[in-house]
């Protein structure tokens, strides 16, 4: 994936003359030491990260860890004290007034926790606000507003006022407004944090659904680790202005790397976080006869595939051994094919795999086209749920 946004050695010290603090930080001092010695508050301490195009990149951390400061530095609502922020390779920190205005209007949109809707403007007027700033004509911006309102499920609400909407609906307006300008980077700062749990879950699902078609690059800020796991392509975890851990949700749960991060991972439901692909044993089918192939399973049996890689039947261990002994692996022996096997998709969770499991039946893991890519034995499912990596070296991209 190409990189859309890159943060390099970013520092933010809340002071007009941050140099003494920056020197301390460069020498390895922590936020608390800098505060004690200089009285200056450190917002960011040497943060570097890379956001791939099309990712939902989660920035997670406790309150005060610097998440909003990072978000605000990226569109320069906060002025970075040192470091670079590259948007498609161009340094935002070095951008002049005009370029900055352009970036804020067209390239990066913000969605805030508290909606920030204008109370005496209608939903449609709020939605088209950014377009108005861009100088888009009234008809064109109304058309666009209606378009994005219908994307977020608010068609026909355009003429209502914010106070007539529920919290969830207001946040949808916030999202619609961010989408209206067609910026390819969205920064969502605790955008769902103020919502009731049910509405919040609904908005998370909605965002995932929208993102499948929108394919924006989203920097999503949250203090909720579950939300980070659910939405994130990657997660960056912050503490005291520093980035302390970065990786895929799965890799962070498996290897937190510190007690601070481990504390977040303790309550995680691993059966939903890890999928069949992650826990499966990849297959290496060997030719059988008559265009068929055999993929062995861990119990000594095998799955029989047609020439398209689709499973057509299963052989138990005894039958397979018998066929081998009598060299009967040709078409003749295939009369003994059992049909009883279970199929799960690579993207199915281990919870789904556990539910699909049937004693004595091999489990086939198939790709989007239904082709066999692996097998999944019960002990692998369990090991995966308990988060003992089933394949020490494989399948996991930190």
Which positions touch Mg ion (CB under 5 A)? Answer: 67-68
Residue with Cβ nearer ligand ADP (70 or 350): 70
Using the rule CB under 6 A, is 244 a contact of ligand ADP? no
167 binds, among ligand ADP, Mg ion, none (CB under 5 to 8 A by kind): none
Q: Which helix (H) or strand (E) holds 257?
A: none
Measured CA to CA, the distance from residue 153 to residue 166 in angstroms comes to 13
Does the footprint of ligand ADP cover residue 308 (CB under 6 A)? no
When CB distances are held under 5 to 8 angstroms depending on the partner's kind, the choice from ligand ADP, Mg ion, none that residue 64 binds is ligand ADP
- What distance lies between CA 41 and its chain's CA centroid? 31
- Comparing CB distances to ligand ADP, the nearer of 65 and 81 is 65
By CB under 6 A, residue 80 contacts ligand ADP: no
Question: Is position 222 an interface residue for ligand ADP (rule: CB under 6 A)?
Answer: no
Pairing of strands 234-239, 342-345: unpaired
Report the partner that residue 247 touches, choosing among Mg ion, ligand ADP, none (CB closer than 5 to 8 A by kind): none
Nearer to Mg ion (CB atom), residue 68 or residue 181:
68
Q: Is residue 18 close enough to count as binding ligand ADP by CB under 6 A?
A: no
Q: Which entry of ligand ADP, Mg ion, none binds 2, CB below 5 to 8 A by partner kind?
A: none
Could you list the beta-strand ranges (E) of 179-292. Answer: 185-189, 217-222, 234-239, 242-247, 281-282, 286-287
**In 3D, which of 7, 56, 392 has the Cα closest to residue 217?**
56
The one of ligand ADP, Mg ion, none whose footprint includes residue 69, by CB under 5 to 8 A per kind, is ligand ADP
| Closest-CA residue to 178 (of 108, 114, 121) | 108
68 or 109: whose CB is closer to Mg ion?
Answer: 68
> What is the size of the binding site for ligand ADP (CB under 6 A)?
11
Give the alpha-carbon dihedral of 167, 169, 174, 177, to 10 degrees: -160
65 binds ligand ADP (CB under 6 A): yes
Which residue from 137, 1, 113, 114 is spatially nearest to 56, judged by alpha carbons?
Answer: 1
Distances (CA, A) of 299 to 20, 277, 374: 65, 19, 14
- Residue 113 CB, nearest distance to Mg ion (Å)? 8
List the x/- string, 35-64, binding to ligand ADP by CB under 6 A: ------x-x-----------------x-xx
Binding mask 99-138 for ligand ADP (x = CB under 6 A): ----------------------------------------
- Residue 307: contacted member of Mg ion, ligand ADP, none (CB under 5 to 8 Å, by partner type): none
Q: Which is nearer to Mg ion, 38 or 222 (CB)?
A: 222
**Residue 250 binding: pick among ligand ADP, Mg ion, none (C-beta 5-8 Å cut-off by kind):** none
Order of strands across the sheet that contains 234-239: 108-111, 185-189, 217-222, 56-61, 234-239, 242-247
Question: By CB under 6 A, is residue 67 in contact with ligand ADP?
Answer: yes
Question: Facing residues of 302 across strands?
Answer: 296, 315
The DSSP annotation for 146-176 comes to HHHHHHTT-TT-TTS-GGGS-HHHHHHHHHH
Evaluate whether 236 touches 246 at the Cβ level (below 8 Å): yes
Least distance CB 90 / ligand ADP (angstroms): 24
User: What's the rounded Cα separation, in Å, for the pair 34 and 20?
Assistant: 9
Residue 36 beta carbon to ligand ADP: minimum distance, rounded to whole angstroms = 14
CB of 277 within 8 A of CB of 366?
no
* Binding positions for ligand ADP, rule: CB under 6 A: 14, 41, 43, 61, 63-69
């Amino acid at each position: 994936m190409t990189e859309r946004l890159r943060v390099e050695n970013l520092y933010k010290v809340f002071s007009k003359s941050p140099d003494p603090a920056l020197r301390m930080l460069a020498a390895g001092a922590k936020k608390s030491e800098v505060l004690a010695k200089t009285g200056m508050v450190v917002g960011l301490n040497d943060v570097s990260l890379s956001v791939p195009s099309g990712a939902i990149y989660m920035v997670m951390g406790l309150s005060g860890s610097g998440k909003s400061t990072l978000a605000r530095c990226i569109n320069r609502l906060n002025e970075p004290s040192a470091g670079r922020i590259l948007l498609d390779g161009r340094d935002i920190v070095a951008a002049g007034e005009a370029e900055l205005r352009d970036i804020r209007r067209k390239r990066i949109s913000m969605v805030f926790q508290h909606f920030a809707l204008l109370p005496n403007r209608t939903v449609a007027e709020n939605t088209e606000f950014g377009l108005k700033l861009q100088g888009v004509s009234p008809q064109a911006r109304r058309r666009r507003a209606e378009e994005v309102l219908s994307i977020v499920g608010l068609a026909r609400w355009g003429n209502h006022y914010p106070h007539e909407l529920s919290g969830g609906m207001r946040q949808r307006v916030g999202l619609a407004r961010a989408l209206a300008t067609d910026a390819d980077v969205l920064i969502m700062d605790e955008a769902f944090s103020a919502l009731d749990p049910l509405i919040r879950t609904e908005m998370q699902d909605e965002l995932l659904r929208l993102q499948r078609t929108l394919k924006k690059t989203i920097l999503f800020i949250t203090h909720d680790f579950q939300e980070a796991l659910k939405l994130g392509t990657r997660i960056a975890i912050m503490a005291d202005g520093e980035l302390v851990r970065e990786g895929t949700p799965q890799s962070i749960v498996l290897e937190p790397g510190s007690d601070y991060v481990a504390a977040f991972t303790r309550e995680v439901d691993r059966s939903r976080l890890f999928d069949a692909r992650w826990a499966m044993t990849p297959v290496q089918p060997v030719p059988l006869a008559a265009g068929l192939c055999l993929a062995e399973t861990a119990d000594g049996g095998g799955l029989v595939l047609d020439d398209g890689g689709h499973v057509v039947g299963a052989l138990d261990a005894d039958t397979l051994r018998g066929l081998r002994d009598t060299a009967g692996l040709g078409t003749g022996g295939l009369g003994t094919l059992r049909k009883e096997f279970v199929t799960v998709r690579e993207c199915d969770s281990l919870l789904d795999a556990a539910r699909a499991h049937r004693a004595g039946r091999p489990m086939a893991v198939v790709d989007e086209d239904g082709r066999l890519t692996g097998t999944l034995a019960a002990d692998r499912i369990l090991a995966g749920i308990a988060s003992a990596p089933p394949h020490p070296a494989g399948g996991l991209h930190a």
